[in-house]
A and B are shown apart, each in its own frame.
Chain A
C-alpha cells in the first residue's frame, strides 16, 4: 500500500488528511504532530478581551481526524526527500511516497533582542500563543492608564489583519470600561501604513485615525529595553510604552531548517500556483509552512486544500499538477462594538468593496463594517470545527471571484 505522510495536524494538515483519505481509499494516510492539542487560533484574538473560554479553543487533534488516518504524536527531526523518508526525534524513520509539509509557523519572541528579558509577560506580551493571550487578558483587565503599544516585529505574520483587529478591539474594550481617555494606543509597524494592500490600507488607516489610534510606520524594531520600557528601531527611532503587545518574528518549523530545506525565514520553497515543492516532485506543501506570497491564514490553507487535493490525486495518476491556486484569502476584520469588515483578495487583486458571496445580496459586506460580518465571524467557529477541518465541501469557490466586487 502506498503511503502519504502529512507533517502537521493544524488547519491545513487536518483538512487535507480528511479529504485525502476519502479520495484515495487505496492509499495509507498518516499524520504526524508533536502533540494532540488543536488550537482554534482565531479565538486568540478575543481571549485577551475576555471573549472566549479557553475550553472552547482547544480540541484533540486525533478527534478531528478521520479514524482511517493514522495519527502519530512525535517530534520531527528532519526530512530527507532524497531518501523519501522522514526522521523522527529518537531515530524512528517514516517512509513516504508522497509527503505534505503542513508544519505551519511559530512565533520566536526570543529573536528580538531584549523582548523576552526584563518585563516579559509583565509589561510585554504576545497574544499568538495560548499562554501569551491568557497572560495578556489578566494584564489588560488591570490596565487603566498609560500607553499601549502594539508592535509587529517583521512581516510575514500569521493573519496580517490581526494587529488591526487587536487595536480596534482594544479601543472598544477600554471605551466600554470607561478608561479610554486615559490610554494612548499606538501601532508601530514595519509597513508603510496600516495594511499591505493600498486601498484597504488607506481605509483602515482612516479607521485607526478616527479611533484616535496613532500609527508609527516603517518601524523595524531592533531591540526592546524592558526596564526602561522603550523599543528601539534600526534607524534609531524610539517608542516608549507602558504595555507592549508584540507580534513577534515568525519562523517556519525547526525541522525544515534542520533539513536545510527552508529559506531564510524557514519557509518551505513551494510553487505558488501548484503547491508542489520547487525541488522535489513528490513533496507538496500547504498553509503557513510555504513561502508562497499569500497571507498566512486558515482561509488560505482551506482554499489551498481544494487545489492540493486535485493535484495530489493527479500526481498519484502520473499527471502533472494544475496551476490552480490564485493566492485567494478572505478575512473577517473585527472592528469592535459588535461589528466587523470582510476582505476577499488574491495574488493580483487587492481587497475591494462590494458584497460577498452573492453580488448585491451578500449577506456579508466587503471592506465595510456591518453587524452581519461580526455574526459571520462568531458563527465561523462551529464551521471551523465541524465542516472546514472535516474536509467537507463548503459552498465557496476556492478561486477568488470578481462577482460582487465594485472594481
Chain B
C-alpha cells in the first residue's frame, strides 16, 4: 500500500474522531452543567416538599389515609369481587332507596320515631284493654294501616326472592354469613405490618424512663442527679447506700476523683479515664464497684452518665 494513502486514511480517521471527541466533550460539559444547576434546585425542591408533607402529616392526613386504607382492606377481605359487582348493579336501586328514605317528610317521621324510642323508658306498658282503647285513636289507626301495607310488601318481596334462589344457594349463603368473622380475621395483617398505626412500630413497649424527685432531690431519667451542684458528701453516702455500697476510703478516692475530673473537663470520666487519673487498676475498680463501675461512680458522685455510651 502506498504510504501516502495510509497517512491520508489515518488523518481522515483522526479528523472523524476529533469531531466525535468534540461532541462527547460537549455532551459531558452539558451534563455537568445540568447537574450543577439542578442540584441546588433539587435541594430546594426537596426541602420545600419536606416541609409541605410535614405540615400535611402534622394535620393528620397520612394517619387518616392509613386508617382509611385499613378499612378498605377489611372491606376488600370481606367482600368477593362478585359481591362488589352485584353492589354495582344495584347502585341505582340503592340510591333510589336512599332518596326515598331521605325525603324530608320521611326523615321527619324517622326523627319522631327516634324521639319515641329515646323516651321508651317513660312509656307505660299497655295490655289488651289499652290496645282496644288505643285502636280508637286516629293516629294509631293510620299507623296500623301503614304497618300492614309495609308487611304486605315485605311478604311479597320474600316470596319473589324464594322463587329466584334455589335452596342450596340459600343454605350456602347462610353458612357464609355465619363464617363471616373468620374470613375477616384471615385478612387482618400480622402484627407490625404496614397497616399498623405509627406508635406500634416500636416493638415491645418499654415504660419510658422519667425524671423523679426523692426526698426533695431531683434525678434525671437515667437515675443520675439532675443538678450536680446540689451534691454533698452526705448525699454521696446516701446514693451509694441506695445502690448497696458502703463508701470506704478507696471508694471515696474514686468518687472524689470523678467529681474533680468532671469539674475540670466538664465531662464525666469513664473507667479508663479514672484509671488514668487515679492510677487505680481497672480490675481493682471493678472489685470496688462490681456492677458497671463507670456509671455507678458517676451516679454516686452526682454527675451525669459518662460519655462513650453513645
Contact = CB atoms under 8 A, between A and B. Distances in A.
A234 B274 CA distance: 15
A358 to B, nearest CB: 5
B272 A154 contact: yes
Contact of B202 (A234, A367, A394, A401): A367
B50 A198 contact: no
B282 A222 contact: yes
Interface in B272-297: 272-273, 276, 282-283, 285-286, 290-292
A73 B273 CA distance: 33
A155 B199 CA distance: 30
B53 A361 contact: yes
A235 B292 CA distance: 9
A360 B270 CA distance: 41
Interface string B202-229: 1110101100000000000000000000
B286 A154 contact: no
B201 A234 contact: no
A394 B269 CA distance: 37
A392 B42 CA distance: 13
Contacts of B291: 218, 235
B53 A393 contact: no
Contact of A403 (B39, B51, B290, B292): B51
A404 B273 contact: no
A12 interface: no
Most buried by A among B209, B276, B308: B308
Contact of B201 (A222, A293, A294, A367): A367
B224 to A, nearest CB: 14
Q: How big is the A interface, by class?
A: 35 or more
Nearest to B57: A359
Given A353-B198, A395-B42, A263 B283 contact: no
Nearest to B45: A395
Interface string A103-124: 0000000000000000000000
B130 interface: no
A160 B310 CA distance: 8
Interface in B240-285: 265, 269-273, 276, 282-283, 285
Contacts of B54: 359, 401-404
Contacts of B79: none
A207 B201 CA distance: 12
B209 to A, nearest CB: 7
A358 B46 contact: yes
B23 interface: no
Contact of A191 (B49, B201, B270, B309): B309
B53 A358 contact: yes
Contacts of A354: 198
A406 interface: yes
Interface string B42-68: 110011011101101100011000000
Contacts, number: 106
Contact of A368 (B57, B201, B272, B307): B201
A114 to B, nearest CB: 14
Contacts of A202: 202-204, 206
A212 interface: no
Given A264-B272, A367-B201, A360 B292 contact: no
Nearest to B41: A395
B104 interface: no
Contact of A218 (B40, B271, B292, B307): B292
Contacts of B290: 235
B53 A404 contact: yes
Nearest to A352: B202
A357 B273 contact: no
Interface string A389-401: 0001111110001
Contacts of A314: none
A341 to B, nearest CB: 11
A340 interface: no
A179 to B, nearest CB: 28
B57 A263 contact: no
A196 B306 CA distance: 13
Nearest to B192: A368
Nearest to B221: A198
A206 interface: yes
A358 B49 contact: yes
A220 interface: yes
A280 interface: no
Contacts of B209: 198
A263 B273 contact: yes
A155 B310 contact: yes
A63 interface: no
A260 interface: no
A2 interface: no
B309 to A, nearest CB: 6
A203 interface: yes
A260 to B, nearest CB: 13
Contact of B39 (A156, A206, A293, A392): A392
A222 B283 CA distance: 8
A401 B50 contact: yes
A359 B202 contact: no
Contacts of B43: 393-395
A295 interface: yes
Interface string B18-56: 000000000000000000000110110011011101101
Interface of A: 154-156, 160, 191-192, 196, 198-199, 202-203, 206-207, 218, 220, 222, 234-235, 263-265, 293-295, 353-354, 357-361, 367-368, 392-397, 401-404, 406
8 contacts: A155-B310, A160-B310, A199-B202, A358-B50, A361-B53, A395-B42, A403-B50, A403-B53
Given A263-B265, A359-B54, A404-B57, 11 more contacts: A220-B271, A220-B286, A222-B286, A235-B286, A294-B310, A358-B49, A359-B53, A360-B56, A360-B57, A393-B43, A403-B50
